[in-house]
């Protein structure tokens, strides 16, 4: 069924919403987990083009991913992680197209009013532009 599940994380406590839900599914299907965090600050968005050094934010994001990957591995999951840089929806879509994933599991925060109306949400952009199922869970408040 699912061999690899792509799990976008945001480096926030709210990541536990999707991780709590996806653990039993990954165990049941023996799926690998591929974590992705998209650093989207100015330095991350211009990293390659301007040949910049990693910002503190990017270093913190890389450390967060490594710790989360280790935690899940200690629980018995096969896990890999990717720190992407740029626009979150674009980078998640690129990764989903480039890697053999059968499911994208991500949390959503609901509406952010004007910004969602003007630009759309990350979850909406992802679900409309990938060819694999997308599981969306609203963040617990």
pLDDT tens-place string over residues 52-78: 567 788 889 999 999 999 999 999 999
Query: Mean pLDDT across the stretch 35-46?
Result: 80
Please give the pLDDT value at position 9: 95
- How many structural domains does the chain have? 1
- Per-residue pLDDT for 140 more than 70? no
Q: Determine the 3-state secondary structure of 62 from DSSP.
A: helix
Determine the Cα–Cα distance for residues 2 and 106; give it in Å rounded to an integer. Answer: 15
Determine the Cα–Cα distance for residues 113 and 7; give it in Å rounded to an integer. Answer: 25
Closest Cα partner for 140 from 36, 46, 15, 24? 15
Please give the pLDDT value at position 48: 63
Backbone angles phi, psi at 93, to 5 degrees: -65, -45
Please give the pLDDT value at position 50: 58
- Per-residue pLDDT for 49 more than 90? no
Beta-bridged to residue 108, according to DSSP, are: 138
- Per-residue pLDDT for 20 more than 80? yes
**Are residues 34 and 81 in contact, defined by beta-carbon separation less than 8 angstroms?**
yes
Check residue 86 and report its DSSP letter.
S
The CATH number of the domain where 15 resides is what?
Answer: 3.40.50.620
Check residue 28 and report its DSSP letter.
H
77-107 residue pLDDT tens = 999 999 998 889 999 999 999 999 999 999 8
Domain range for 104 is 4-138
């Amino acid at each position: 069924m699912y061999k690899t599940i792509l799990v976008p994380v945001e480096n926030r406590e709210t990541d536990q919403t999707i991780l709590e839900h996806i653990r039993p599914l990954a165990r049941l299907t023996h799926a690998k987990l591929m974590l992705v965090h998209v650093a989207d600050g100015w330095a991350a968005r211009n990293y390659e083009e301007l040949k910049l050094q990693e910002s503190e934010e990017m270093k913190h994001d890389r450390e967060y991913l490594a710790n989360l990957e280790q935690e899940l591995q200690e629980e018995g999951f096969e896990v890999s992680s990717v720190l992407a840089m740029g626009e979150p929806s674009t980078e998640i879509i690129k990764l989903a197209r480039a890697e053999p994933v059968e499911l994208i599991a991500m949390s959503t925060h609901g509406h952010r009013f004007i910004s969602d109306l003007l630009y759309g949400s990350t979850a909406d952009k992802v679900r409309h532009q990938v060819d694999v199922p997308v599981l969306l869970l609203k963040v617990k408040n």
